[in-house]
């Protein structure tokens, strides 16, 4: 069921090309067909895909691919570079008004996540930019939308301006602007009602709000799971009210997020933030390159590395590496490693970031049982220091003792010992591999069973 990434899709074609002396135009065409499908499956709009593929083909048919030793990799690289570029090179910061207050309007379809994003944005503005934002509840249509914003305001201890549901949104915003002057709020964020881009009356309302005071930012909030229709939405909102940027929400899900590319290419406006969770601090800057990898199903290695850097002790990592190499890895190190990994957050999130993790058998839908990890820890803690360093001495009476001491069964102990052995083997393989790069396909025995 899991969607194939571009790399997997290209496997077949690349295998065939490998045997040949050079790559023909027909090969490129075939690869582009796969690129096309991969992008459509990632929800990039068909028209955007067609333009994109045309552009990439032109580059790919050129010399660099033909002369390249690994044409497959070359094609993926071209595709990824082109994607990254399309999604905007540099990050664009929030535009603030020269003379406060800065006015930010949040617009979008129903259920995109405008209200939640309004709260997150206000939180960032206060924390990072040291601003004093006022939230404006201008969604008078959806039941309890105002309460939702008020609750968020309370959570963040931020003021929320509302006049109930009987006053028009235009009037609400007009009064909010006045209020912000009185209270010295230097940013006001207007949470508007979700609306269909084809609803002319409601689109007019946005234009009217806009006309009160030229907003410094108009953020289109888009659900990252949006399919082909993303282009229509982005185009309509941009044409009728003029957006300045995009916030892509719910990116903590497992969607490929091709909508990002669609929106970018029709609206030509930067994606400024991505929503990564339901908590109020889960709003992050947009990284074009990571998004490109994600759309292509290549795993989010960069985020993983960043996470690891933030959480893993450099010194300890070096020590561990040394142990891998010398094969002196013990159960103590194992526990140490477990703890390091745990600090990085839920394991299943981490596994998802690994490129190709979806392809490892048994790992495609890996559900990591945190309790199982607890059991593993208990078993290791029940070992004597000697047993930890030389597990070979663990005979059946020792196993019995360990099982009893850790409240597990002998089978559990056996399984862990087996996994530990497998892991050691894997490490040996990996360090061998580093020496003779990429000759052998990496096998990860035991990795899948470890988390079950």
Binding residues vs other proteins (CB under 8 A):
1-3, 37, 40-43, 45-47, 109-113, 115, 141-152, 155, 196-198, 223, 225-230, 232-233, 250, 252-256, 258-259, 278, 346, 348, 352, 367-368
253 is in an annotated binding site: no
Shortest Cβ distance from residue 451 to other proteins (Å)?
Answer: 11
- Pick 232 or 419: Cβ nearer other proteins: 232
d(CA 285, CA 58): 32
Shortest Cβ distance from residue 61 to other proteins (Å)?
Answer: 22
- Pick 11 or 150: Cβ nearer other proteins: 150
- Pick 298 or 403: Cβ nearer other proteins: 298
- Pick 70 or 150: Cβ nearer other proteins: 150
Running DSSP on this structure, what letter comes out for residue 313?
-
Are β-strands 283-285 and 271-275 bridged in parallel, bridged antiparallel, or unpaired? antiparallel
195 is in an annotated binding site: yes
89 is in an annotated binding site: no
Q: What SS3 class is residue 398?
A: helix
99 is in an annotated binding site: no
Give me Rg for the CA atoms of the chain. 27
Q: What SS3 class is residue 346?
A: coil
212 is in an annotated binding site: no
Residues counted in the chain: 452
404 is in an annotated binding site: no
102 is in an annotated binding site: no
262 in Cβ contact with 252 (< 8 Å): no
Q: Which residues does 287 contact at the CB level (< 8 Å), separation at least 6?
A: 91, 302
Shortest Cβ distance from residue 361 to other proteins (Å)?
Answer: 18
> CA angle, corner 266, sides to 262 and 272, nearest 5?
70
142 in Cβ contact with 194 (< 8 Å): yes
Greatest CA separation for the chain: 81
- Pick 74 or 150: Cβ nearer other proteins: 150
d(CA 302, CA 216): 32
d(CA 335, CA 85): 42
- Pick 7 or 233: Cβ nearer other proteins: 233
194 is in an annotated binding site: yes
Q: What SS3 class is residue 272?
A: strand
Shortest Cβ distance from residue 250 to other proteins (Å)?
Answer: 6
Shortest Cβ distance from residue 346 to other proteins (Å)?
Answer: 8
Shortest Cβ distance from residue 401 to other proteins (Å)?
Answer: 34
Running DSSP on this structure, what letter comes out for residue 87?
T
193 is in an annotated binding site: yes
Q: What SS3 class is residue 127?
A: helix
- Pick 20 or 50: Cβ nearer other proteins: 50
d(CA 105, CA 187): 11
249 is in an annotated binding site: yes
Shortest Cβ distance from residue 193 to other proteins (Å)?
Answer: 10
Segment (H or E) for 348:
helix 347-353
CB atoms within 10 A of CB 142: 14
d(CA 185, CA 401): 66
Shortest Cβ distance from residue 258 to other proteins (Å)?
Answer: 7
144 is in an annotated binding site: no
- Pick 250 or 375: Cβ nearer other proteins: 250
Shortest Cβ distance from residue 314 to other proteins (Å)?
Answer: 31
330 is in an annotated binding site: no
- Pick 148 or 406: Cβ nearer other proteins: 148
- Pick 8 or 41: Cβ nearer other proteins: 41
145 is in an annotated binding site: no
Sign of CA dihedral 310, 311, 313, 316: negative
Inter-axis angle of helices 71-86 and 46-61, to 10 degrees?
130
CB atoms within 10 A of CB 323: 16
Shortest Cβ distance from residue 292 to other proteins (Å)?
Answer: 17
Distances 382 to 176, 385, 407 between C-alpha atoms, Å: 63, 9, 9
Binding residues for GTP: 108-115, 191-195, 249-252
**Annotated binding site: which residue ranges?**
108-115, 191-195, 249-252
């Amino acid at each position: 069921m899991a969607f194939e990434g571009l790399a997997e899709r290209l496997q077949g074609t690349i295998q065939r090309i490998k045997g040949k002396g050079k790559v023909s135009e027909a090969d490129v065409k075939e690869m582009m067909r796969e690129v096309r499908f991969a992008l459509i499956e990632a929800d990039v709009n068909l028209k955007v895909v067609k333009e994109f593929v045309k552009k990439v083909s032109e580059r790919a048919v050129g010399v660099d691919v033909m002369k390249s030793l690994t044409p497959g990799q070359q094609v993926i690289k071209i595709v990824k570079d082109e994607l990254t570029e399309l999604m905007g090179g540099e990050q664009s910061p929030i535009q603030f008004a020269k003379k406060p207050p800065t006015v930010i309007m949040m617009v979008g379809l129903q259920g995109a996540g405008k209200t939640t994003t309004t709260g997150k944005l206000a939180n960032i503005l206060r924390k990072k930019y040291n601003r004093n934002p006022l939230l404006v509840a201008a969604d008078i249509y959806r039941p309890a939308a105002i309460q939702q914003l008020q609750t968020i305001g309370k959570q963040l201890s931020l003021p929320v301006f509302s006049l109930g549901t009987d006053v028009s949104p235009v009037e609400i915003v007009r009064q909010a602007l006045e209020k912000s002057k009185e209270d010295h709020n230097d940013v006001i964020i207007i949470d508007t009602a979700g609306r269909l881009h084809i609803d002319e009356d409601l689109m007019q309302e946005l234009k009217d709000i806009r006309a009160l005071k030229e907003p410094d930012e108009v953020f289109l909030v888009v659900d990252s799971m949006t399919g082909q229709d993303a282009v229509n939405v982005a185009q309509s909102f941009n044409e009728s009210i003029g957006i300045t940027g995009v916030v892509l929400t719910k990116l903590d899900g497992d969607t490929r997020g091709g909508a990002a590319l669609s929106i970018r290419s029709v609206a030509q406006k930067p994606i400024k933030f991505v929503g990564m969770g339901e908590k109020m601090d889960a709003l992050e800057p947009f990284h074009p390159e990571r998004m490109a990898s994600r759309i292509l199903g290549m795993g989010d290695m960069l985020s993983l590395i960043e996470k690891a850097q933030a959480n893993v002790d450099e010194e300890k990592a070096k020590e561990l590496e040394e142990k891998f190499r010398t094969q002196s890895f013990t159960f103590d190190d194992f526990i140490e490693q477990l703890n390091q990994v745990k600090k990085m957050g839920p394991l299943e999130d981490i596994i998802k970031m690994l490129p190709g993790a979806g392809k490892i058998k048994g790992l495609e839908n890996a559900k990591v049982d945190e309790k199982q990890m607890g059991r593993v820890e208990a078993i290791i803690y029940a070992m004597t220091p000697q047993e930890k360093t030389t597990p070979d001495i663990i005979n059946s009476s020792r196993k019995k003792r360990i099982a009893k001491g850790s409240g597990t069964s002998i089978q559990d102990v056996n399984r862990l010992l087996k996994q530990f052995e497998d892991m050691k083997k894997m490490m040996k393989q990996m360090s061998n591999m580093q020496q003779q790069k990429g000759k052998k396909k990496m096998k990860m025995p035991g990795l899948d069973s470890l988390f079950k």
